[in-house]
Amino acid sequence: MDKITVSKPKKFKRNLIVLTILFLIVGSAWFAGFNVIEVMINLNKGSRLLGRMFFPPDLSYLPNIVDPMIETIRMAIVGTFIGATLALPVAVLVANNFIKSKLLHGPLRIILNIFRTIPALVLASLFVAVFGTGPFSGVVALSIFTFGLVSKLTYETIEAIDYGQVEALMSLGANKMNILRYAIMPQILPQYMSYTLYGFEVNIRAAAVLGYVGAGGIGQTFEFNLAWRNFDRVGTIIIFSFFIVLIIDLISSSIRKRLV
């Protein structure tokens, strides 16, 4: 029996790929103005700043940030609910294995791509200019952000379902609504709920910084203390926010594991 020989990749090609990657990294760092020497020089300043923030933090300020954090969580809950609720029917329409219409899929996917391209902070800035400062602008921004995220993940899940169930119902003469109810929804519902919870996790972090543009939440308190150089209070806000986000992530991750 003849031996099967596998040709080794040429060293020149491998080295060319490595050099190209290194060139891209170094070139990007140079154009971005990244300077390792400057980082090393300012390490002392950074350590002093961390010392003012965390050694020790102003724990007496903790009661003042509870209400803003609750407002942040409320913003994330409402924004996630609205965005995810709107995302489900749109995802069904966008999926190319349910309603096969290029005239419908193309425009809707372009709209979803636009929504996902714009960061939540930019959306919040736009809505603050329209609706004024406050949590309402943050909720609208998070709703749109969640809508773009969940709808994309959901329609990709719909396109990856087991199509055998759909074909079985079609052979029995089922209409679109029955196919959606009995063949598609049971397959995608766990993933859809998982994506919604993931969107909530992301929104908690996003809502925490929307206050920088006047959209309410803990970010506004953070920005105020940072502007007045109250670094010990800033450290308290960071520590408190870290534990709140960590708890929410652990609970959400546990629920998502049970769903999928």
For residue 229, give the CATH number of its domain.
Answer: 1.10.3720.10
Q: How many C-beta atoms lie closer than 10 Å to residue 230's C-beta?
A: 17
119 cis-preceded (ω within 30 degrees of 0): no
Q: At what angle do helices 185-207 and 135-159 cross, to 10 degrees?
A: 150
| Residue range of the domain that includes 84 | 54-259
Residue 16: pLDDT band (50, 70, 90) is: confident
d(CA 59, CA 232): 8
Which tens digits make up the pLDDT trace of 35-60? 888 888 888 888 888 898 998 899 99
Q: At what angle do helices 218-227 and 63-94 cross, to 10 degrees?
A: 130
- In a domain, residue 149? The reply is yes
- In a domain, residue 110? The reply is yes
Question: In Å, how far are 12, 93, 109, 122, 180 from 117, measured between CA atoms?
Answer: 38, 20, 12, 10, 29
Which tens digits make up the pLDDT trace of 165-178? 888 888 888 888 89
pLDDT of residue 134: 87
Residue 115: pLDDT above 90?
no
- In a domain, residue 169? The reply is yes
Domain count, the chain: 1
d(CA 2, CA 108): 56
- In a domain, residue 45? The reply is no
Q: Say what percent of the chain tops pLDDT 70.
A: 96
